[in-house]
Structure 1
């Protein structure tokens, strides 16, 4: 990604962004490790908790998981800042010209704008505020979900399938398709294109914010400012089609359902919440989420035989491939 940006005269490499993102993943991993060890203490209730914890941390299996998963976690941490730089540079590769197509598609599918169909259910300030909290909670899926699948799963094939899908979703859905079908989404339509089609929705969101905080509004304003300043840092960039919020939520649901039925049910409920929130909070058209769901499912399906190939490779071959991937990401 960085090499592609360099051809357009953009430097997407900011050490502080990459190191800061890696620190977030390390902190997330630390919190998750404390939770896992605490669960073990509660389950086994040993006479000597300190000795028990030390035996768990020093065990061969625990150390092997860290040694196997941490290099891949570093690669995952590198991906997000590079993706942000690429996303903020979409206008260098394509013009934001697809919004009218997605607006027409939404109206053809639903008979009207999708947000209007949600308004009788979601159009209450307290509901809008709660949806904005859930939309930001998506970061938990990105950080905790990736840290978990890098380190903790015992099912090596599931781990490989998640990671293959994760990188493919960000690359294909989050970069290639975002550039190909460049669009800004309802909340940015007026300031960036001059189209005021979604002014009624934005008016409602700002009105609701007077009663309960709608946490996405300051973020949208900041994203717009960064876009206008050509900022290519972490968490910058504007892109509607397809929705990476929906894609990542669905990937996590597909993966965690293989481990826990209860966690899977909660994850699928979160997918539905994010899908609704993405439309109601004016970030996306409904078709952005539909395309993301279909593409994520296709990638997840293709990743299954690929993950078997990875798991069945000799250990030294896999380690060489992993080392090559880390070197490529660093470059």
Structure 2
């Protein structure tokens, strides 16, 4: 976890520096991100304590990791995660200051081309008549959030395979920084739900109108979408996690989580595939993302994992 801590602190420093270069309200943005993470620190440390207890018990039974190493790694992972997530908030809200939104029309056309002339959200809403969309919205909201934040702590406390931990941490960093920042800057887009507000017209006017049913989870998503827009327009992105569609961090993290679970328990493959499919479906159904956003994220993380796994296997073979 030493390397992850160094990366997180560097990421935070670079994100803050870039914010001060490109935006007038950088100090507010940085302090806002730190306040958000500070408010979540009690829950984060409680979860860390829980994982440490589980790790100490499991490692004692299996005799795989010294108790001191478990505690120290967990502490480093928690501090690193807090700085890492704060850095991502700063980076994501700063990106429109670097490159304004421009790529939505391109991605909308790509989406229709890939789906034989029909916008994917239309297909998703047709399917929504037969699917438990509000329950799937709960998976999209909460099933994604926990591994997105807690995976480093999980690896620090409950995984004693150093090769797998290094491989997953590299995937984790790539899922956020490469996908969420570097690739996102190459195709700055806001997503279908915000398309008409940014570019004018009514190309996606029927998207929010055809959400059904609007249960508590979908209501939470709609409320979040409106809050993101208000933050973007009125608060100048001082607070919040910002708007950015391409590629999908939801799908990069979901794919990474599925890969990790599959590596540890191969029989879970059908379950993790359904999980990724649910996140992909809801990302399109809610209008947060174009379908291509998810396709690119899944392909990138899967390709990087295959490369890293082959590299690690080769290293073992020729050691």
In the superposition, the TM-score normalised over structure 2's length comes to 0.81
Q: Is the 8 A contact 1:129 1:215 kept in 2?
A: no
Give the structure 1 partner of residue 147 of structure 2: 141
For 1:13, what is the secondary structure of its paired residue? helix
Match of 2:162 in 1: 156
Could you tell me which runs of 5 or more consecutive residues in structure 1 were left unpaired when the two chains were aligned: 41-52, 312-331
CA distance in 2, matches of 1:60, 1:141: 22
Question: Tell me, what secondary structure is at the counterpart of 2:90?
Answer: helix
Conserved? CA contact 2:121–2:285, under 8 Å: yes
SS of 1:258's equivalent in the other structure is helix
**In the alignment, structure 1 residue 83 sits paired with structure 2 residue 88:** yes
Are 2:287 and 1:268 aligned?
A: no
Could you tell me how far apart the structure 1 residues matched to 2:74 and 2:315 are?
14
Match of 2:126 in 1: 120
SS at match of 2:263: coil
Partner of residue 101 from structure 2, selected from 91, 96, 104:
96
Mind listing any 5+ residue stretches in structure 2 that lack a counterpart? 1-14
280-289 or 11-20, which deviates more: 11-20
Supply the distance in 1 between the matched residues of 2:153 and 2:45 (Cα, whole angstroms). Answer: 8
8-17 vs 196-205, which moves further: 8-17
Q: Which residue of 2 aligns with 1:13?
A: 30
Q: Is the 2:179–2:297 Cα contact (8 Å) retained in structure 1? A: yes
Identify the residue that residue 49 of structure 1 maps to in structure 2.
none
How big is the shift at 1:211?
A: 9.3
User: SS of 2:207's equivalent?
Assistant: helix
The one-character-per-residue Cα deviations of 1:73-106 (angstroms, maximum 9, x if unpaired) are 3222211121112111222111211011111001
1:226 lines up with 2:231 in the alignment = yes
Aligned length: 293
Conserved 8 A contact 1:242-1:291: yes
Query: Matched residues in 2 for 1:306 and 1:22: separation?
Result: 36
Deviates more, 1:17-26 or 1:63-72: 17-26
Residue pairs, 1:1-331, within 5 angstroms: 1-9=15-23, 10-11=26-27, 12-14=29-31, 15-33=34-52, 61-111=66-116, 112-123=118-129, 127-137=132-142, 138-205=144-211, 208-209=213-214, 213-228=218-233, 229-233=235-239, 235-304=240-309
Compute the RMSD of aligned alpha carbons: 3.0
- Rg larger for: 1
CA contact 1:21–1:78 (8 Å) conserved in 2: no
Does the CA-based 8 Å contact 2:65-2:160 persist in structure 1? no
Cα distance change on mapping 1:141 and 1:157 into 2, 3 Å: same
- Secondary structure at the aligned position of 2:91 is classed as helix
- Provide the C-alpha distance between the structure 2 equivalents of 1:256 and 1:161, rounded to a whole number of angstroms: 13
Deviation at 1:301, TM superposition (A): 3.7
Q: Displacement of 1:32 after TM fit?
A: 3.4
